[in-house]
A and B are shown apart, each in its own frame.
Chain A
Amino acid sequence: MSAEQQQHAEQQQTRSEVLAKGALAVGSLYGAAMVGPYVSRALAMSGGGDVGILNFALTLEYLEAKFYEEAKSRAKPSGELKRLLDLIASDEQQHVEALAATVKQLGGKPVMEPQFKFDYSGTAGFLKLAQTLEDTGVSAYNGAAPMIKSKEVLAAAGGIVQVEARHAAAIRLQNKEEPAPVAFDPPLDEKQVLKAVEPFIV
C-alpha cells in the first residue's frame, strides 16, 4: 500500500470511528432542562415521562397537520404536488389522532392544539418551509425516542418517524434538493426543536 493509500485508509477508519462515536455520543440521554415555556406547560400538564414525550410529539403533529391543511389552498398546489399534499395532510391528521388517543390510553391529558401562524407565500415559500418542518420533525422524534420507556410507545413513535422521513424526502424532491442529504439523520433535543418551531406558535 502506498503512503497515500495508507493515509486514506487511516482517515477512513478514523472517520468511521467518528461516525460511530458521533452517532453513539449524540444518542446520550437528553435532559428536560431549559425547554421553552410552551413545552414546560405541556409537560407540567401531562406529568412528564412517556406521556410528556407523546404530548411533545402531538404538538409537532398539530403544527404539521395545520400547516398542510392550510397549504391545500395557500400553496396553490397542482398535479403531483397536490396529490403529495393530500397524502401528507392525511398522514399528519392520523398522527394527531393516534398520539392524542395514546396519551389518553396512558391516563394522560392530550395537549390542546396551539394557534399557529405560518409566514410564507406561494408554492416555493411553502415547499421551503415544509422541508424545514419535516426535517425538524424527523430529528425531534429521533431525539426523543431513546427516552421512551414503553416498547409499545416506542413502536408507535418509530412507525411515525419513518413516515415523516418519507414525507421529508418527497418534499425535498419537489424542492429539487437532496432527499437524503446525510447518512445519519441527526437527533435534536426539545430545546432545539422548540427554537425551530416557536416562530410559528402564536
Chain B
Amino acid sequence: MAEIKQLKDPVSRRRFLAVGGGSTALAAVLAACGDDSGTTSSTSASMGGGGASETAEFGKGDVGILNYALTLEYLETAFYADVVKSGLFKGAELETIRKFGREEAEHVQALTAAVKQLGGKPAAEPKAEFPLESAKSVLELAGTVENLGAAAYLGQAGNIKSPEVLASALAIHSVEGRHAAVLNTLLGESITPDGAFAKPADVKTVLKSVEPFLVG
C-alpha cells in the first residue's frame, strides 16, 4: 500500500463537514468514519472490505461502486489539470502528465455514462485543491494518488455484482496500475511497492487519504 505522506494544513474533518453540510456522499461517509487519529494503514485483510455497504453512501450496489470510482476519477482529473496549469513540468514529463490526465478524464466520462445506463445518478464533481509546491512534491502526490487509485479499484472488485461492470472496472484498474508504475519510476521507487501481489484498499482508507484535498 502506498505511503500517505503528511500534508501541511489539511482541511480538518470538522471544518469540512461544517461547511459542506451532511448532504454530500463524501461528507456522509466521512462522518461515519469514527477514527480521527490520522492513521492511514489500509485494512486489506478481507476481500473487498465491508462489501457493498462500503459504498452505499454513493448509491446502491454497482451504482454505488461506480460512483465511488467516479469520485476518485474526478479528483485525479482535477489534480492532473492543476498540475499542467502549474507550469512545474516541461517536455516528456509534462506530456506524460497530460496523457494521464486525458485518460482519467476518459474514465470520468465512461463511469458517468455507465452509472446513467444502470439507471443511477452520477456523483457530483467534488471541489478540490491540491498542494503544488514543487515538481518533486507534485510527483510524490501523483504517485500516492495513482497507487491509491489502483488499490481502491482492487478493493472493490469482489463487491461488484455485474460481470460487465466488473470488466469495465478491471479495464480501468490495470491502467491505474500502469500510471502508478510510471510515477514510481519517475520517483526512483519500485514499480511494485507491494511486491508480486498488489494490495487492495478499502473505502474508509481511500476517502481518508483524499479528504485533505477536498474543499467545502
Please indicate whether A and B come from the same complex rather than being unrelated chains.
yes
List chain A positions with a Cβ less than 8 A from chain B: 12, 15-17, 19-21, 23-29, 84, 87, 90-91, 94-95, 98, 138, 141-142, 145-147, 151-152, 154-156, 158-170, 173, 178-180, 182-187
Q: Is the CB of A19 within 8 A of B110?
A: yes
Q: Is the interface of A mostly helix, strand, loop or mixed?
A: helix
Residue of A nearest to B179 (CB): A180
In the complex, the number of residue pairs spanning A and B with C-beta atoms less than 8 Å apart equals 190
Neighbour of B198 across the interface among A21, A145, A162, A179, CB < 8 A: A162
A-B residue pairs, 6 tightest by C-beta: A27-B167, A16-B109, A20-B113, A165-B177, A166-B181, A162-B198
B170 A146 Cβ-Cβ under 8 A: yes
Interface, chain B (partner A; CB < 8 A): 47-48, 96, 99-100, 102-103, 106-107, 109-114, 117, 150, 154, 157-158, 163-168, 170-175, 177-182, 184-185, 190-192, 194-200
Establish whether residues B163 and A162, one from each chain, have CB atoms under 8 Å apart when the complex forms.
no
B145 CB → nearest A CB, Å: 15
Evaluate contact between A162 and B158: CB separation under 8 angstroms: no
On whether A24 and B117 interact (CB within 8 A), knowing A147-B163, A169-B191, A180-B175, the answer reads yes
Kindly identify which residue among A173, A185, A186 contacts B182, using a CB–CB cutoff of 8 Å: A173
B111 (CB) vs chain A CBs: closest residue = A20
Contact of A155 with B182 at beta-carbon distance under 8 Å, contacts A19-B109, A91-B195 already known: no
Q: Given that A156-B197, A163-B197 are contacting pairs, would A87 and B192 also be in contact in the complex, using a CB cutoff of 8 Å?
A: yes
Q: Please state if A162 and B174 are interface contacts (CB–CB under 8 Å).
A: yes
Q: A165-B177, A167-B191 are in contact. Are A183 and B197 (CB under 8 A)?
A: no
User: A146 CA to B165 CA in the complex, in Å?
Assistant: 9
A134 to B: closest C-beta gap in Å: 10
Contact A142 B191 (CB under 8 A): no
Beyond A155-B48, A159-B154, 6 extra complex contacts between A and B, CB < 8 Å: A19-B109, A24-B164, A91-B195, A170-B185, A173-B182, A183-B107
